[in-house]
């Protein structure tokens, strides 16, 4: 297939390009890093880029948590307007296959179980609790401690910040495109992707990049909260392979299929910081007790649907991946 990869010069996109080429496809990079005119909001440039294309792998996005609502217009413009322009151009060009870079942030908090009330959904954490070092959500009915678990694709969607809201809007736009055109669409809900070529020293990078950048400067990684927040760290090459598999799958016309894309092995942020520091040779992480309003406490994936339906499985183990990442070069913004 001839595949247009939006954001194909970026962190994940560049690995997707490599994975597609290795599997015999022809990836076409569309990225403002290589050409300022290659912006998914530029309808004329997108239309030209889609000529002769069989499928699109849509990685271009403004990523990160977002700074309150101050940068909401920029997030909405880049992520949602950009996606709408792309989908409109695909409909006009007759391109009917799309894989979207989704995100686990659409769930908000992960899955929690109360010993008395079963599965519950705690609301956003209160500032007073965070200031007091009370980071764990409690049962909204009885206030009991909760046990975190794996979240599946059928969980209710509850984005908790501007970035998360735009990622969910991308899915809704893509689903509408699929219904209107009979196209096949997949959203890969990435968990915490890490690996070579992560951007350094930018507010929009993942926590792994923050820690890796600090270590490169000879500084201790600064771990927020108490370091016990659970995440699923998945290697970028595994994510790239998932994109290739999803593009090659037969798919269901007119339907958006969503798949969690994670390693399936939860680790705490503190564990990740220690593993990275150990592999780098120090310095040791520092737990600060700081927090970012809008962050969730625990979010880890059940990626069994992706394994069962598309035959994908992660290949890079946590320890191996952190050892490689500790010595891998980072890139500029």
Cβ atoms of residues 300 and 242 within 8 Å? no
Where does 281-314 have alpha helices with state H? 304-310
CA 83, 87, 89 angle in degrees (round to 5)?
A: 120
Interior/surface letters 25-59, b for 16+ CB within 10 angstroms, e for the rest? bebbbbbbbeeeebbbbbeebbbebbeebebbbbb
- Active-site residue flag, 112: no
Element at 302 (helix H, strand E): none
Structure tokens at 77: 């413009």
Structure tokens at 278: 């150990």
Cβ atoms of residues 282 and 276 within 8 Å? no
Pairing relationship of beta strands 192-194 and 147-151 according to DSSP bridges: unpaired
Q: Is the peptide bond before 150 cis (omega within 30 degrees of 0)?
A: no
Dihedral angle over CA of 130, 272, 108, 102, nearest 10: 150
The DSSP annotation for 4-20 comes to EEETTTSHHHHHHHHHH
Look-up of token digits 């406490």? 297
Q: Out of 163, 190, 194, 259, pick the active-site residue.
A: 163
Neighbours of 24 (CB within 10 A): 7
Residue 58's contacts (CB-CB under 8 Å, 6 or more residues apart) are 6, 7, 40, 83, 86, 98, 99, 100, 101
Look-up of token digits 């959904």? 121
Cite the active site residues: 163
């Amino acid at each position: 297939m001839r595949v247009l990869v939006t954001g194909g010069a970026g962190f994940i996109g560049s690995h997707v390009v490599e994975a597609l080429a290795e599997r015999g496809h022809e990836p076409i990079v569309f990225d403002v890093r290589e050409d300022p005119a290659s912006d998914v909001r530029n309808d004329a440039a997108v239309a030209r880029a889609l000529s002769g294309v069989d499928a699109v792998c849509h990685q271009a996005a403004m990523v990160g948590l977002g700074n309150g609502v101050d940068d909401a217009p920029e997030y909405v413009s880049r992520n949602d307007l950009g996606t709408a322009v792309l989908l409109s151009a695909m409909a006009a060009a007759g391109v009917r296959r799309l894989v979207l870079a989704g995100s686990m942030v659409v769930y908000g908090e992960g899955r929690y179980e109360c010993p008395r009330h079963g599965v519950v959904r705690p609301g956003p954490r209160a500032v007073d609790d965070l200031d007091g070092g009370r980071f764990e959500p409690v049962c909204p009915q009885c206030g009991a401690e909760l046990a975190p678990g794996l979240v599946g694709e059928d969980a209710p969607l509850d984005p908790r910040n501007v970035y998360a809201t735009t990622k969910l809007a991308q899915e809704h736009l893509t689903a509408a495109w699929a219904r209107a055109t009979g196209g096949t669409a997949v959203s890969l809900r990435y968990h915490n992707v890490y690996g070579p070529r992560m951007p350094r020293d930018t507010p929009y990078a993942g926590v792994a990049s923050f820690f890796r950048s600090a270590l490169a400067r000879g500084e201790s990684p600064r771990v927020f909260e108490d370091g016990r927040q659970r995440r699923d760290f998945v290697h970028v090459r595994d994510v790239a392979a998932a994109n290739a598999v999803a593009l090659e799958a037969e798919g269901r016309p007119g339907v958006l299929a969503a798949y969690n894309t994670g390693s399936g092995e939860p680790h705490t942020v503190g564990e990740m910081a220690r593993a990275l520091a150990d592999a780098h040779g120090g310095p040791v992480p520092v737990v600060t007790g700081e927090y970012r309003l809008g962050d969730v406490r625990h979010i880890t994936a059940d990626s069994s649907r992706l394994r069962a339906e598309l035959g994908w499985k992660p290949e890079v183990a946590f320890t191996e991946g952190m050892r490689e990442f500790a010595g891998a070069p980072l890139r500029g913004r």
